[in-house]
Amino acid sequence: MKIAKTVCRCAWVMLFVLGMGIIAPSTAAASTDGRITVSQEARVQGDTIRLGDIATLEGELGVIHKLESVPVGRAPLAGKERRVSREQIVAALRQQGFDAKNIDLSCPREIKVLGDYQEVSIEDLEAIIRSHIFANMPWEKHAVVIENFTAKPVQLPLGDITHHVVVQPGEDYLGKFNADVIFKVNGCEIQRTRASAVIRVTVPVAVSAKAIDRHALLSPEAIIMEPKDLATLPKGVITDINCLTNRRAKISITAGTLLRQDMFEADTDIRRGDIVTISLTTPLFSITVPGEALESGNRGEVIPVANLSSKNKVYGSVKNNKEVEVRY
């Protein structure tokens, strides 16, 4: 009878102790290696997916540090994605010495992992190309319109971005424009992308204001300057009216014609048939008489000229566009 009472008292004591939480039941006494809650989606940096990149970890600090560094798989490239399964995570834990039975693991069947990135937008690329064009083109900025820009956005790993633009040798920055933009992150070349645009240059070009006869010497009133899209013009058009000074037409030119360099004789100081001044200098005197150039010539060249007074032909050195000097 006493034994029964003793057993009864012990039972009541054990129930009281368990109820007060002084001694945990055997199921509560089982130790765990922490709690892992894996996200449905995650972004990662670097070359390796680690558990700390894709999950929230709870537990002792030392255990958390070990769990954080558990490698799960190779990370996707910047802007790309890959899928990681629950089985891969369990296998990765086992490889690192963790018993999955001792871990409270909350994990979807599949996790989408995206390589973290920074994006260079189309607007950013357009600004890069515009800056390059303006810095390298031979045209006045106010005369240029850049349009029809095309490119695709670029996704790069996180880090410091630098770039440079590569164009074809001999690029004239007129009409269709193509370039490659090379991007580096932290000094390492990562990606090359193609960008294109159309460069329209409006410049004043020389146009005949009236008909010009063959061999006629151009006069200022025979030329007007009109704005034109340079990309649509033939080669050799004249954009500087000063280069037409004292030029003679090689062909007959109708009014409204775009003037080109090949329509005119080569620019020379004195042309055959020009009326010039013949100057003669001696130790005793110097004289000047009117003459006519019998051949064309530039400064320093010796050409024959006819004295209009005596009709005699003499030879002299071209001094400028109006004078031939005869040496005594």
pLDDT at 32: 61
pLDDT at 16: 47
Q: Which of 80, 115, 150 is the last residue of a domain?
A: 115
Residue 213 structure tokens: 């006869």
Residue 16 structure tokens: 């009281």
pLDDT at 328: 58
Q: Summarize pLDDT for 207-263 with one digit per residue, the tens.
A: 999 999 998 888 889 999 999 998 888 888 888 887 787 788 999 999 999 999 889
Q: Are both 35 and 111 inside the same structural domain?
A: yes
The residue written with tokens 């600004």 in the block is 127
Q: Does residue 220 lie in a domain region? A: yes
Q: Summarize pLDDT for 174-198 with one digit per residue, the tens.
A: 899 999 999 999 999 999 999 999 9
DSSP structure class, residue 209? S
This prediction's pTM: 0.56
Helix ranges (DSSP H) in the chain? 2-20, 26-29, 51-54, 61-68, 86-95, 122-136
Give the range of the structural domain holding residue 140, as residue numbers without chain letter: 120-196
The ranges of the chain with pLDDT < 50 are 1-8, 10-31
Q: Are both 48 and 74 inside the same structural domain?
A: yes
What is the C-alpha separation between 168 and 180, in angstroms, rounded? 9
DSSP 174-194: SEEEEEEEEEEETTEEEEEEE
pLDDT at 80: 87
What is the C-alpha separation between 91 and 97, in angstroms, rounded? 10
DSSP 3-state of 32 = coil
Q: Are both 21 and 35 inside the same structural domain?
A: no
Q: Are both 38 and 111 inside the same structural domain?
A: yes
Q: What is the CATH number of the domain that holds 233?
A: 3.90.1210.10
**Are 296 and 303 a contacting pair, CB within 8 Å?**
yes
Domain count within the chain: 5
Residue 251 structure tokens: 């062909």
